[in-house]
Structure 1
Amino acid sequence: MRLSRARLALLIGLAGALLLVAVIVSPMLLISIPSFITDGSTSVDCADTTQVEEVSESGTSDIPAEYLDLYQEYGKKIGVQWNILAAVGKRETDHGRSSLPGVKSGTNSAGAAGPMQFLISTWGGKARIPMSSQFNGYASDGDGDGVADVYNPADAILGAAKMLKRNGAPENVRDALFVYNRAWWYVDQVEEIARKYAKSGDVKVPPQASEECDDPLVEAAPSDVVAKILQYALAQRGKPYLWGGTGPDSFDCSGVIYAAYRSAGLLIPRTTFGQWPFGAKILDGEEQPGDLVFFNAGPGTSAASPGHVGLVVAKGKMLEARCRLCGPIKVTSYQARGNRVGFTRPMQNPDVLDQLKKLQNSSL
């Protein structure tokens, strides 16, 4: 039902939300908050993310059963095409069967190791990493033994799934594969293998969980601290925008980010104007979950002093509290925004690095 301007103004007054905003009155002002927010529960039904691609005869005959189970399990868990994972494993090491250097021990001449051929520097700096330690990379513990072992198929395949997810899969899987190995001929080869492994002979985007189901995004976080930041921020979806709000019931754009970092034990500036110079500048295309993306939006702002900020939660996606009439806090795309200024990484600010050290020492 379309509300008249007079009635809308009365409703705004009764709600105590008279803000001086130069916008056209919209009939979509009154936003209903989902029950999972208002009743204190965050439990929702998630979409079935079972892979849509059945295995071809070529796939079942070529892929070892143990590896096939892992490709399918982590493809489903992280939200990427299982046959793309399998094709990477085939192209790199013939599913771990290759006898070349670096597959089962050591590294090859490029410094890559394991069945998915991670560069040791990309994995986390060494081949075997206790998951209780701090590291930057894709090191993962797929078999639950507490160690991220680049030579362990479960660990390596989970790490590869995270890497592909973080760089654009499943929607932009070619871009994600290019990051994995920077050659378009490699991308073409992997896609050709993936098609042979699928019964349909195609590479399809699997059905993704609804936006309330955050496990894939949190699983793909570059660290446990960033995972906590994402977990808190994503839980605020559906709550209303309030200028100056820092929760728990409403937030503005910088307020929800400030609160998310605080939930992980980290203190960053409260406002957009303070957050912009705070983090290390990150090149477009190198952003990762936990980074901030800024826009030249709002009165008195400029490219050198952006007025709007979002939290990167995945490649091309951000969580944002945009404005009072823009609807509730949600996950949106930042790639199509023409007024994007740039990205920053608060985790690389010296103050935050000191805070991270204190958090690590306190947990010992």
Structure 2
Amino acid sequence: MKLSRARLAVVIGLAGMLLLVAVIVSPMLLMSMPSFLGNGGVSVDCEDTAQVEDASDSASADIPGEYLDLYKEYGKEIGVQWNILAAVGKRETDHGRSSLPGVKSGTNSAGAAGPMQFLISTWGGKARIPVSSTFNGYASDGDDDGVADVYNPADAILGAAKMLKRNGAPENVRQALFVYNRAWWYVDQVEEIARKYAKSGAVKVPPQASEDCDEPLVEAAPNDVVAKILQYALAQRGKPYLWGGTGPDSFDCSGVIYAAYQQAGLSIPRTTFGQWPFGIKVLEGEEQPGDLVFFNAGPGTSANNPGHVGLVVSKGKMLEARCRLCGPIKVTSYQARVGRVGFTRPLQNPDVLEQLKKLQNPSL
């Protein structure tokens, strides 16, 4: 059936109107999609569950039961992916089953020893160290026998977990593995093994390490001031650490907190040593977003003079600029971190309370 020119014009006009409506409505529909959908429509779970990744059938078949338990136990305790720990153990010594030199005694040609192949120099200078000794390194006493033994699976796996954590895991696993053994082919091999060991077939990162989870953190802030502090601090994630840095391109641990409070119109001390006595002390378990969490870390520091600080963004999580070799600014767990000495609330300092009054009533 042929349409008259008039009718054809009407049809074309209606089609154009429908196309225009679609162009206008489609973005509106996308904007109204549930907020739990992240990039590409993939669901992003921003709850921190502390659940352990299930082991695949191949992992259960390949990893000795004692080792699998230790990988899971210390992965959860320290806060790194157990399957990454297990993959390191597999790649280094086949979970202690290798007969090569250095696995059960002595060292290999590179000076490494034990099931996780620690360089003796990074373990603490010798293979077996009483835990009461003063030493620098990753020597650990996983079985509580009073000795950090590089050949003991419990001790070695705990030490490896601490080393991976120190160098970027669980957020930046590839960097942590590169520090463990400085070769990218090694990193690729370990990640491939780790994926096979996980039932999900993936190396998972903490959900709150994703920028998709920033908005829920800000929305959960106890008040608008804390929301402004969190919003600025979280936006600095991914920027490099720089000692003495206060932005905008790089920060140190106290510098990013100082800048975040400034963004909210508040002035607090610039350094960790100044921030520690400034805030009102908060009992563990009562900390909330906007509070500061301090650690006994760095030369010349102590429990009464902590040298590292993070910004609490949710229960158990903090934003921190840790060190030059620790990767960029990121959200990490403070619950598993050793050396934690306490929490403070700068917003309860009398000077800050006065500043808040002036912000609410500029005529004062």
When normalised by structure 1's length, the TM-score is 0.50
Q: Counting helix residues as a fraction of each chain, which structure ranks higher?
A: 2
With a CA cutoff of 8 Å and minimum separation of 6, indicate the structure with the bigger relative contact order.
1
